[in-house]
Amino acid sequence: MSEMRHECGVAAVYHLPTGDTSPMAPPQGRDETSRLIPHMLLDVQNRGQLSAGVSTYSPHRRQLIETYKDVGTVSEAFRMGHRGKFESLMKRYAGRAAIGHVRYATCGDDDKSNAQPFERHHLQKRKWFAFAFNGQLANYTTLLRQMLADEESHLAHDSDTEIIMHAISQEFSGDRRPKLIDVLRKVAAKFDGAYSLAYLNAAGDMVVARDPLGIKPLCYAKEGPFFAAASESVALLHLGFPASAIRSLPPGQAAIISGGEFRVERFADSPRIAHCFFEWVYFANVASTMDGRSVYVSRTALGEELAKLEDLRKGEDLIVVPVPDTSKAAADAMAFKLGVPSREGLIRNRYVGRTFIEGATSRRRKAEAKYTPLPEVLRGKRVLLVEDSIVRATTLRVLLDRIRLVGGAKEIHVRVASPPIIAPCFYGIDMSTVGELFAPRYLKEGASLEQAQKEMAKDLGADSLRYLPVEAIARAIGFESGQLCQACITRRYPTPAGQELYQIALGKAAEKPTAASRTVRTYESPELLRK
C-alpha cells in the first residue's frame, strides 16, 4: 500500500582505466560516466521519493569528490525536465566514477541535510570519501551512545547514516592505512541490521557491499572496463548489460575497485541469509530479478496461492480487481487460476502527491484522489479486491468506501497476497511501532486468524477478508522459510538488536499513548538512549 515506505535505493558506476571502451559508457567519454546515475536512480525511484543525490570522482578537478543532492524525486532533484539545467549539472559533476541515492526516511528528518550521499572531506585523499546506503541499523541507539560517550564528540544529524560515516572514518584515523576490505570487516562487526552501501573516495577507490544476512538487495555487473551496481537488476538491464551478466552480490561480500583493479571479496561470515520477503511482495520493481528470483514470477505465484484458498461462488457477476500497481501480477494470476475475469476497476492517478507525509484530513483527500473507481467495470459486481499488504489500513478504508459508493460494487471481498503484518520492521521499512499497525489489535495471543479476518472485514467495511498463510510466502518466492526475513509476520527477528527492539515496541504498545509518544519511533525511545 502507499502507506508503507522503503528507506532508499543505491546506484554506482565506474569506468576503469584501461584502453578498452565500453558500449554501455556514455558517448561523451569515460570522464562523464557519472551522467548515467540519474537514469539508474529513475529505475529505483520506487524505493524513495524524498530526495536524490550523486557523488562523483574526477582526478581532473580541484574537488576530487563532489556531491550534489536535493529534495524531491529524481527528475525534480536533477532538473531533468529542463534540458539546459540538467546538462549544466551533468557537466559540473562529471566524473569517471559515481555513486547515487534515492531516499525515503525511516531514521532522521525529511530535509535536505539528511539526503544522501554523505561526504566527508579530508586533507588526505584516502580519508576523503562519500557514501550512501540502503537499510537501517537496528543497534543505531547503541552506536549513538558509544560515539557520544566522549563529551568532545558531537553528531550533526539524527540518522544512522552519520553513524556509519563516522564508523568508517574511525578506521582511517591517525597513521593507519587499512585495506578497504579490513575496514569493512571492522565496521561490520559493530553493525546489527541491514545495509547495502556504496563508497567512493578521493583516491578513486570504490566499494559496494552487502550486509552478512543479505537483508537488502544489491546487484552488480561488469563487462570490460565498465562496472555498475544498483539495488535492483532493472537499473543494470537498462544500461545495456545482458541479463546473464547481472549478479546479486552475495551477503557479506563486497565488490571493490582499487588501484584500477576490480575484485569481489568476503568481509564477513554469513551463518545464514535473511532476504526481506517484502522485496518480492511489494517493494521491488516488477521487472527486477534478485538473488535468482524474479519479482514478477514470485507475485504471480502469490496470486496462485490466493486462488487455492478461494471459496466464493463463481458467476458472471464475479470479477478480480487489483489495487494498482504492485498487486496486478498477483490479481491476474489469481483470476486466471479461478477462471474469473481480471478487470482494472481502479485507475491510479500518478500525479497525486505523496499521501504519507500529509496531515490526516489532507491525507484522506489525497487518498480519495489517488484512485478513480470505474462504475462501468464495478457496478453490480462482486469484487475480489487483491491487495499486496495491509499496514495501517488508512488508504484501504477510503478505497473500499469509494469502490462501493462511486463504483457501485455489490460486494467487496478483500484478498491480501501476504500474511498479516503483526510486528514492526527495524531494517529499513517505515513501520517501527506496534500501535501503528492494523492487524495486531485483532490478532491477540490465542486469537484465530479466521475470526480475526471476520472482525477486520467488518471494521474495514468489506464483505470478507482473507490473508495468505505465512508458509505460502516461501513457496511463492522460492526460498526456504529460514532464508527469508519474515519478522513482521512471524515476530522472529534475524538479529539480536531487532529482537530487543521488538520487546521494547511491545512494551510501548501496552502503555497509554500520548501525543508525544505517537511520533517516536521504537529505535528512538528515550530508555534506549539512557542505557
- List residues with catalytic annotation: 8
> Torsion over CA of 234, 240, 241 and 243, rounded to 10 degrees?
60
Query: Is omega for the bond preceding 325 within 30 degrees of 0, making it cis?
Result: yes
Strand order in the sheet with 382-387: 318-322, 382-387, 411-416, 464-467
> Cα separation of 399 and 196, whole Å?
35
- Residue 111 has which C-alpha cell? 530535509
Residue 419 phi, psi (nearest 5): -75, 170
Is the C-alpha dihedral spanning 102, 107, 108, 111 positive or negative?
positive
> Cα separation of 50 and 527, whole Å?
29
- Residue 497 has which C-alpha cell? 538488536
In SS3 terms, 252-268 reads as CEEEEEECCEEEEEECC
**Residue in 332, 246, 327 with CA at minimum distance from that of residue 289:** 246
DSSP sequence for 441-454:
GTS-TT--HHHHHH
